[in-house]
Amino acid sequence: MTSTTDGYGELRAQLESLTTEAFRPELSEIDRLPTSEIARIMNGEDAGVPAAVAAELPRIAAAIDATAERMARGGRLIYAGAGTAGRLGVLDASECPPTFNTDPGDVVGLVAGGPSALVTAVEGAEDREDLAAQDLDSLTLTADDTVVGISASGRTPYAVGAVEHARARGALTIGLSCNADSALADAAEHGIEVVVGPELLTGSTRLKAGTAQKLVLNMLSTITMIRLGKTYGNLMVDVRASNEKLRARSRRIVALATGADDAEIEAALTATDGEVKNAILTILGSVDGPTAARLLTESDGHLRAALENSRTE
């Protein structure tokens, strides 16, 4: 029978083998340094993160294309992680509705321990593969869904369990970690391992590892939305104008896309119930609001395609 002490010893050995957990003796007296010097060192550490992400771009792009293909068929993008990794997934998911006018159920963030774990650590939740399976089953997974397990170490049971369970259900799976040869990448169809090296503070993987994960999640959601027609060029044409800033931004986006004056922009937005993409189409395609809505529906929401079709109206 394995004792609790033996179990901790095994886990300690696993952690000591991970790049993200490595101890850096050269920083052992960092607390003695002036604040400005610590800030300089930390800034230098962060500067290497984009290069580590760049090394994974081919795998990131392949994962995005596979995700977009499924979301175009009605699938969802689902993030699953514990601690910082889980919170980053929830953050990315929560920003998609106001940015791309997606339904809140289209991009979902799951964090081990549930919503309360966003602000308070839920002890032991990250060690429960069964919790990941339960959380995913509550969403009724389909083969068109994509599940992204996020874990700096690449060994977190909740993240690995989420990917394994999702793959068994036929969903597309992506494993995002910050260590090479991780269990998470091995379990997923698309493994993304952004190796950023040891942290400034040993074991504090909310630092470089967290930054790397945020950069990759930015790519996964943003480029997927570009592929789904949520933008027109680099304009955020599916923005949801839910506050004064976004209402002003909506008018600016219509102006940038069309070159129209304020009066024409206001008329177009009024005719389309404030929908930016539709307003642009009424101006550039010289169609009315209902026709713009129909053309966009027929073009699966892709404004460029709808504009091409408007020329045959």
Q: How far is the C-alpha of 55 from the C-alpha of 66, rounded, in Å?
A: 19
pLDDT number for residue 8:
57
C-alpha distances (whole Å) from 52 to each of 35, 179, 180 are 27, 11, 12
Extended strands (E) in the chain: 77-81, 107-111, 146-150, 172-177, 190-193
For β-strands 146-150 and 172-177, DSSP reports them as parallel
Give domain 49-227's CATH architecture: 3-Layer(aba) Sandwich (3.40)
Structure tokens at 11: 């886990």
Q: How far is the C-alpha of 165 from the C-alpha of 177, rounded, in Å?
A: 18
Which residue is listed with tokens 């990448």?
Answer: 185
The tens-digit pLDDT sequence of the chain (313 residues) is 444 455 556 656 566 566 777 777 788 888 999 999 999 999 999 999 999 999 999 999 999 999 999 999 999 999 999 999 999 999 999 999 988 989 999 999 999 998 888 888 777 788 788 899 999 999 999 999 999 999 999 999 999 999 999 999 999 999 999 999 999 999 999 999 999 999 888 878 889 999 999 999 999 999 999 999 999 999 999 887 778 888 899 999 999 999 999 999 999 999 999 999 999 999 999 999 999 999 999 999 999 999 999 887 6
pLDDT in tens, 216-253: 999 999 999 999 999 999 999 988 777 888 889 999 99
Domain with CATH 1.10.8.1080 in the chain: 244-310
Long-range contacts of 49-58 (CB under 8 A, 24+ apart): 49/194, 49/196, 49/208, 49/211, 49/212, 49/215, 50/215, 52/194, 52/195, 52/196, 52/197, 52/212, 53/194, 53/212, 53/215, 53/216, 55/194, 55/195, 56/192, 56/193, 56/194, 56/216
Which residue is listed with tokens 């984009």?
Answer: 50
pLDDT number for residue 246:
82
Angle at 139 between CA 133 and CA 143, to 5 degrees: 85
**Among 111, 198, 110, 210, which residue's Cα sits nearest to residue 152?**
210
Model confidence pTM above 0.85: yes
Domain with CATH 3.40.50.10490 in the chain: 49-227
- As annotated, the active-site residues are 95, 126
pLDDT number for residue 136:
97
C-alpha distances (whole Å) from 71 to each of 65, 174, 290, 299 are 10, 14, 26, 15
pLDDT number for residue 2:
46
CATH fit for domain 244-310, picks 3.10.20.30, 3.40.50.300, 1.10.10.10, 1.10.8.1080:
1.10.8.1080
